[in-house]
Amino acid sequence: MELIQYPQERYDPLLAGRIVELEQTAWPEDGEAEAFPSAPDTYVTSFLWLEGAMPVCHVGVRSSILHHKGQTYAAYGLSEVVTHPAFRGRGLASEGIRRAAQFIMERRADVSIFTCAPERVPFYTRGGWRAVKGACLVGGTLRRPFRSDSLHLVTMMMFLSPKGRLHQADFEHTDIVLELGENQLW
């Protein structure tokens, strides 16, 4: 089994189709025609565990510009973190998010931000993120906002640059609006 960075280390259109199939093991309702990456505008890269030619664990990295309380931040998020059911509980996703965190730290990121289910908070906390009290990430568009609290998700963040660290308190007990496009939320 090997952990690669996609598409940098192995671009292969077939592999993209197999990532879609892997994601459907967790989110079958997303429909069979879904392309990969699903939102190319914000997609940066993926960390992918391969068993032979088959992807069995995927961690997507995304980036966007975040305007919040008078400041502009380079923001990186995780998305589509999934391990095939037959390969769970072996540490694959833990290593995938560790590599993603390392990748993000090597960029000029001010903050990392995304949401997760409450039961996943310990998993991402071990990866270096922390749950931000009362923070609601609002994705989607201004006309059709997609609120993370509507799904009872927790906002996880890492404060990376001096600017990010200085303004940490600005992210607590507030909405954080990140226009990501229709139906998009990290």
Ligand X SMILES: CC(C)(COP(=O)(O)OP(=O)(O)OC[C@H]1O[C@@H](n2cnc3c(N)ncnc32)[C@H](O)[C@@H]1OP(=O)(O)O)[C@@H](O)C(=O)NCCC(=O)NCCS
C-alpha of 163 from chain center: 21
Q: Does 120 bind ligand X (CB under 6 A)?
A: yes
Q: 77-100 burial, b if ≥16 CB within 10 A, otherwise e?
A: bbbbbbbbeebeeeebbbbbbbbb
Report, in Å, the least distance between residue 88 CB and ligand X: 3
Report, in Å, the least distance between residue 165 CB and ligand X: 25
Q: Which residue, 90 or 130, is less far from ligand X as judged by CB?
A: 90
Size of the site for ligand X (CB under 6 A): 17
- Residues 19-48: x/- map of binding to ligand X (CB under 6 A)? -------x----------------------
Q: Which amino acid is at 180?
A: L
The dihedral through the CA atoms of 158, 161, 162, 166 has a sign that is negative
Q: Does 92 bind ligand X (CB under 6 A)?
A: yes
Q: Does 90 bind ligand X (CB under 6 A)?
A: yes
Q: 111-131 burial, b if ≥16 CB within 10 A, otherwise e?
A: bbbbbbeeeeeebbeebbbeb
Rounded Cα distance between 127 and 110, Å, is 17
Q: What burial class does residue 48 get, using C-beta atoms within 10 Å of its C-beta: 0-12 exposed, 13-18 middle, 19+ buried?
A: buried
Q: Which residue, 17 or 122, is less far from ligand X as judged by CB?
A: 122
Which of residues 20, 61, 74, 82 is near ligand X by CB under 6 A? 82
Which of residues 93, 109, 132, 157 is near ligand X by CB under 6 A? 93
Q: Does 101 bind ligand X (CB under 6 A)?
A: no
- Per residue, the 3-state secondary structure of 17-40, as one string, reads HHHHHHHHHHCHHHCCCCCCCCCC
Q: Does 89 bind ligand X (CB under 6 A)?
A: yes
Q: Does 122 bind ligand X (CB under 6 A)?
A: yes
List residues binding ligand X (CB under 6 A): 26, 57, 81-83, 88-94, 116-117, 120, 122-123
